[in-house]
Structure 1
Amino acid sequence: MPETGAERLAGIPAEERVLLLPHCLRPSQTCPGRPSREGFRCPDDCQEDCPIRTLGTEARRLRYKGVCVAPGGALALRYVQSTLPRAVVAIACAKELSEGAEAVGDLAEPRPVVVVLPLSRDGCVDTAVNLEDALRLLRAGADTCPTSNGRVTEVGALDLLGARP
């Protein structure tokens, strides 16, 4: 039986993980964030009630290596290549998750463990994610640290990535 995403992350310290989020999770009409070469940047004083703020704040509290709010897969892949995490928690639409996992699979060894959570509502603007599932995934084993083996694991109802045991 394949391991769940939480089980895969449990052995990797938060300091060696990155969180990838799609910019489409932001509230398009009211978001004060601005695009940059490193992805969308939320202002330090942001008070928006949005998944990006909630998940980014939690990842930083857990001491994740980094958080990238990307407009697409190319920037997300560059971020992974520049930060060299042992694990990637990626939240996005099915298409971006599939393409991203394939691109990470093409990286040189050692490849990070990739755990994905599909959006609960997609459509490229004002999308949604199940925050309870996302927070549970971020927190999974955040204080433990055995080794990883570089496999891709899928979380949720979609079998996007052909996860293997």
Structure 2
Amino acid sequence: SGITTPNYLAIRGGSNGGLLIGAVLNQRPDICKVAFPEVGVMDMLRYEKFTIGHAWAVEYGSVAIKEHFTNLIGYSPLHTIQTGKNYPSVLVYTADHDDRVVPAHSFKYVAALQNGQGGSEPILVRIGQSAGHGAGKPTKKIIEEYAEKWAFMFYEMGLDI
């Protein structure tokens, strides 16, 4: 409705929201200029193999059940990357001590997205050191991360702020 355009839209989500951002990017890579998927479950076919992932089968379903497998592969961010598509600028956040959503989800997603990127926009990963899934993060670290995100977003949008 004229509020903004994709060139001036950034999207962000963490944890289940990170999964959502990854899925949205693959379904509609043209929807935004910058995306921040954070600590997201990106490999929906193997999530049950990591730490407490098996407990999430109640929410997501299990690959061991054919109907669930079909649903999971249909939106799994890692498995729905469109090779050769122009993806927006992406900065994925993960943490080296995240025992809820292990960093491997982000690493595999970034590698696959970099390989599939048809455009010139950067696909990067930021690994929080001595950090977990997000809870209990010191205020100073939160402020630093937001400053970094805003700087990346403004730069990629070509804004001189």
Decide which structure has greater helix share. Answer: 2
Structure number with bigger Rg: 2
TM value normalised by structure 1:
0.39
Q: Which has the higher contact order (CA 8 A, sep 6+)?
A: 1
TM value normalised by structure 2:
0.40
